[in-house]
A and B are shown apart, each in its own frame.
Chain A
Amino acid sequence: DAGVIQSPRHEVTEMGQEVTLRCKPISGHDYLFWYRQTMMRGLELLIYFNNNVPIDDSGMPEDRFSAKMPNASFSTLKIQPSEPRDSAVYFCASSYRDKRYNEQFFGPGTRLTVL
C-alpha cells in the first residue's frame, strides 16, 4: 500500500518566493494534518482537515501561510512570500477516525530551506 505521499522532498528557495508543498493522503483516510518541525519548536500542528474541510487552522503562523484540500486525495500548503524563518521540515499526515484510537500516518516530509 502506498503511504502518505509528499512532494517535493526538498525545496530550496529564496526569500520572497512562493512555495507550494503537496500531499496525497492514504486512500480512505478522512483526516489530514499539516505539521512543521524545527529543532527549536519541535513538531507543531499547523492545520487539519476532516472530509476536506479545514477544522482548526489556529496553528498557522500568519497570513503568509494557506492550505487547501480541494478533494479527498490532495492537499497543498502554500507560503507566500517565504522567509528564512520558514525553513523547516513540513510533514503531512493522515488518519482514519476510529473510536478506539486515531493513529496518524506521516509522509516523508518536505525539507524547506529559504535563503
Chain B
Amino acid sequence: RKEVEQDPGPFNVPEGATVAFNCTYSNSASQSFFWYRQDCRKEPKLLMSVYSSGNEDGRFTAQLNRASQYISLLIRDSKLSDSATYLCVVNPSYDKVIFGPGTSLSVIP
C-alpha cells in the first residue's frame, strides 16, 4: 500500500459546482497534513494546512479524520481558475514529507 493515496481523477465539473477530493494515508502517527495546488507545467504551491478541527479558507474547506486516516478538500462554487492538480501532503514525522500522486480537476464553462 502506498503511503499516501488519492483518486487521480480527472474530475470534470461545471462552473459553480461543489467538488470533493479525498486522500488516505497509511502511517497513523502522521503529524501534519496539507493540500498543495499545482497548475499545469508549474511548481506546487501550498493551498492550505489541514487542522484536526477542520478549517475553511473562503470556498475551500479541509477536513481531517484521524480514526479513518483520511483528509478531504471541498471546493464550493468552482471557478475556471480552480482547474489544477491538487496534491495531498502528509508528514509521517517532522522531517519527512510525502506527496500524494495528485487529483486532477478541470472546471468547465
Contact = CB atoms under 8 A, between A and B. Distances in A.
Interface of A: 31, 33, 35, 42-43, 45, 48, 50, 55-56, 91, 97, 101-104, 106-109
Contact of B95 (A35, A43, A55, A106): A55
A2 B49 CA distance: 23
Interface in B72-109: 87, 91, 94-102
Interface in B36-90: 42-46, 49, 87
Given A42-B101, A106-B45, A101 B34 contact: yes
Contact of A33 (B45, B87, B97, B101): B97
B32 interface: yes
Interface of B: 32, 34, 42-46, 49, 87, 91, 94-102
Contact of B97 (A50, A104, A108, A109): A104
A56 B100 CA distance: 19
A103 B43 contact: no
Q: Which 5 A-B pairs have the closest CB atoms?
A: A106-B43, A42-B101, A43-B99, A103-B46, A101-B49
Nearest to B42: A108
A31 B95 CA distance: 9
A56 B43 contact: no
Contacts of A50: 95
B44 A101 contact: no
A21 to B, nearest CB: 14
Select the residue from B43, B44, B45 with max chain A CB neighbours within 10 A. Answer: B43
B43 A109 contact: yes
A90 to B, nearest CB: 11
Contacts of B43: 91, 106-109
A35 B36 CA distance: 15
Given A101-B32, A103-B49, A108-B42, 20 more contacts: A33-B97, A43-B44, A43-B99, A48-B95, A50-B95, A56-B96, A91-B44, A97-B94, A101-B34, A101-B49, A102-B91, A102-B97, A103-B46, A104-B44, A104-B97, A106-B44, A106-B45, A107-B43, A108-B43, A109-B43
